[in-house]
Amino acid sequence: MDKVFIKGLSIQTTIGFYQWEKEIKQTLIIDLAMGWNIAAAAKNDELAKTLDYADISLAVERFANENPVDLIETLAERLANFLMTQYQIPWLKLSIGKPGAVHNTQTVGVEIERGQYN
Ligand SMILES: Nc1nc2c(c(=O)[nH]1)N=C([C@H](O)[C@@H](O)CO)CN2
């Protein structure tokens, strides 16, 4: 399957289980791979026929800020659902890293895969 991807998208958002985390913004790093047949867009060189990674990057940051949650698991599940519905994406792999969360680590996070991979 062809894919459109976004790697290392850095967003600032409110996320976390603890009370103090609900009063600040923290950095999340998002990697997203989205299944898409790119042949139609390539045929006539048409942005409208593919997944616009610029538009989706903005949508990811907007979604996170409009839907504050405690766990990155919850954000991952809800964001995957939103993107698949909004952009008719048949399959995606999404990872969310929270680099500031645990001392002495590079990052911590979750990775999920949703939908049908053909
Ligand atoms: N698997 C997870 N573990 C933890 C999460 C999380 O979202 N998923 N969150 C926290 C806190 O919010 C942490 O980031 C701050 O100490 C702890 N563990």
Report pLDDT digits (tens) over 25-57.
999 999 999 999 999 999 999 999 999 999 999
Q: Which domain holds residue 48?
A: 3-115
Rg of the Cα trace of the chain?
15
Q: Which of 13, 19, 69, 71 to mutate to test the pocket of ligand 1 (most atoms within 8 A of CB)?
A: 71
Q: What is the position in ligand 1's atom list of the atom closest to the CA of 15?
A: 12
Q: Which of 13, 14, 17, 78 to mutate to test the pocket of ligand 1 (most atoms within 8 A of CB)?
A: 17
Residue-wise DSSP of 10-57: EEEE-B-SSGGGGGS-EEEEEEEEEE---HHHHHHT-GGGS--HHHHH
Report pLDDT digits (tens) over 56-109.
999 999 999 999 999 999 999 999 999 999 999 999 999 999 999 999 999 999
Q: Over the range 16-31, which residues count as b (16 or more CB within 10 Å of their CB) and which as e?
A: beeeeeeeeeeebbbb
pLDDT of residue 118: 77
- Is 98 a known active-site residue? yes
Q: The domain spanning residue 67 has which CATH number? A: 3.30.1130.10
Listed in sequence order, the residues at least 6 apart from 33 whose beta carbon sits closer than 8 Å to its beta carbon are: 3, 4, 5, 92, 93
> CA 29, 66, 79, 103: dihedral to nearest 10 degrees?
30
**What is the total count of domains within the chain?**
1
For the record, the structure tokens of 24 come out as: 């600040």
Q: If you measure from the C-alpha of residue 84 to the centroid of ligand 1, how many angstroms do you get, rounded to a whole number? A: 25
pLDDT of residue 5: 98
Q: Is the pTM of this model over 0.95?
A: yes
